[in-house]
Structures are given as structure tokens and as C-alpha cells.
Amino acid sequence: MAGRAAVPEVIWTRPERTGRGPKPAFTRADIAAAAVRLADAQGLDGVSMRHVAAELGCGTMSLYNYVPRKEDLYELMVDAVGGEHELWEPGGDWRADMRRVAYQTRAAMHRHPWLPRLMSPVYGFSPNALRYLEHCMACMDPFDAPYGTKLELLGMLNGCVTTYVSTELSTTERARSLPWSEEQENAVRIAYLGSQVASGAYPRLAAAFMEDAGPIDMEAVFDRMLDRVLDGFEPRSEGSGNQ
């Protein structure tokens, strides 16, 4: 009687199965998997309630029996990918362990290029997110700091990895929704950048443009970034090679 919309719902508090009625045709895992499959194949914009329903082989509105709002579908997707994280027995070297975590996160984002766009702290309470969190905390057991600091480290690491991979993927992912190719777009933008820089208004950018020391090793850049983040929390390090 009190309007159904007025009470907040978090999908994880909803029981997946209640007593009454016909048994559901799908599990949440089925639905998440279907959505992830679709997003991997067609990009995040390919994930519509209709498409996911079709992928599952049911009517569009039937999906709403499982997922009250589309955003909850997103939450299921993020949680499903979180379940792909393989956890291990931390080895005592927390920096090495956290690097491994970061590499896994990056790999997951490469497998699922739509993931960075969905990364949000509000999804941090899903079952797999909690498992992941606990695991990271276990990795940091040897790191003598308050939990608050460890959470800051984790937030910063995830933030950096997310924006890093976003940059890695941005041109490629963007091309998916454009009527022209990625290379064409890049060429036009670079040409424009060149023309602007050549105007003389941006001497340092011009210099940076000239510098251009060969091809960029993205792997090395990522590595350096991790070092820098970790260094910020434990300054003493044995020559992590700041060039």
C-alpha cells in the first residue's frame, strides 16, 4: 500500500528464490552471464533489456521478475566479472601480491572492455566484491598500517588501474559506435593537434611532440604506474627504477 517505489531495494537483499509460484526459469548467474556475453560481443550499448531477454530466450518483461531495474543488471554484470578474480594464498610480500591483483584487474578489463565504464563504488558491496576485498586485505596483512590506509591504497590502485585501462581502450572502444574507423578518427585528431601545435601557441606541447622517444611500451608504463602508487604508501624501495 505504501508505494512500492518508496522503499529502497538492493538486489542482494532480495532472495533469489521464494516459496510460492512457478519455479524461475533462470538464475541470477544465467542472467549475468547472458548480459556479459552480450556486452563482450556488442559493447555495453548492446545490453538492453530486450536484447538480454532475447539472449535468454524469454519475453522482455519477464526479465523484470529477476531484475527490478536495468541498473541492477549492471550490478549483476560487475559482480559476475568480480567472480572471475582468482584468489590465492597471499605470499607475505604484499607489494607483489597487490601488483598481482592489479594485473588481474587489468586483464579482466581487457576481457570485458565495458567494465571500466561500470566501475562504481556503489557496486562495492556485491558478494564477489566482498570476497575480492577480503582477499586484498589478506594480501596486505604484512603491511603494517591501519585499515583506513589500506582502503585508501586499494581505492587509489583501483582508480589508477581503471583510468589507465580506460585510456588504453578509449580509442578502440569509441570506434564501436562511430560511423568511421578508429584509424581515421585518430588521424584527423592528430592532424588537428599538429596544426594547433604548429601555430606556436603551445611551445611546450610542441617540444613534447618533438621529443617522442620511439614507440611507447604500454606494459612498462603500467608497471611504472603500479610502482609509483605503491611507493606512495611505502617510500623505501630497492631501486624500482625511476628512470
Partner DNA sequence: TCCTAGTTACGTACAGCGTACGTAGTGCGC
Partner DNA sequence: GCGCACTACGTACGCTGTACGTAACTAGGA
How far apart (Å, rounded) are the C-alpha atoms in residues 243 and 230?
Answer: 16
Residue window 68-97: x/- pattern of binding to DNA, with contact defined by CB under 7 A: -xxx--------------------------
- Span from 67-75, 80-88, 100-108, 134-142 in contact with DNA (CB under 7 A): 67-75
User: Which 55-74 residues touch its own copies, going by CB under 8 A?
Assistant: none
> Quick one: cell of 87?
584468489
Which DSSP state fits 195? H
- How many CB atoms lie under 10 A from the CB of residue 34? 23
Of the candidate residues 30, 33, 43, 62, the single one contacting DNA (CB under 7 A): 62
Nearer to DNA, 20 or 236 (CB): 20
- Give the Cα separation of 25 and 177 in Å (integer): 33
Q: Taking CB under 8 A as the rule, does residue 42 contact its own copies? A: no
When asked if residue 138 is in the footprint of DNA (CB under 7 A), the reply is no
Contact between 1 and its own copies by CB under 8 A: the answer reads no
Q: How far apart are CA 183 and CA 200, in angstroms?
A: 26
Total number of residues that touch DNA (CB under 7 A): 26
User: Exactly one of 1, 2, 8, 238 binds its own copies (CB under 8 A); which one?
Assistant: 8
* 62, three cell numbers: 519477464
96-104, Cβ contacts within 8 angstroms, sequence gap of 24 or more: 97/139, 97/140, 98/136, 98/139, 98/140, 98/153, 98/157, 98/230, 99/226, 99/230, 101/135, 101/136, 101/139, 101/157, 102/157, 102/161, 102/226
- Span near its own copies by CB under 8 A; candidates 31-39, 82-90, 92-100, 121-129: 121-129
| Residue of the chain from 107, 141, 172, 218 that contacts its own copies (CB under 8 A) | 141
Q: Closest approach of Cβ 64 to DNA, in Å?
A: 6
Residues that bind DNA (CB under 7 A): 17-26, 47-51, 58-62, 64-66, 69-71
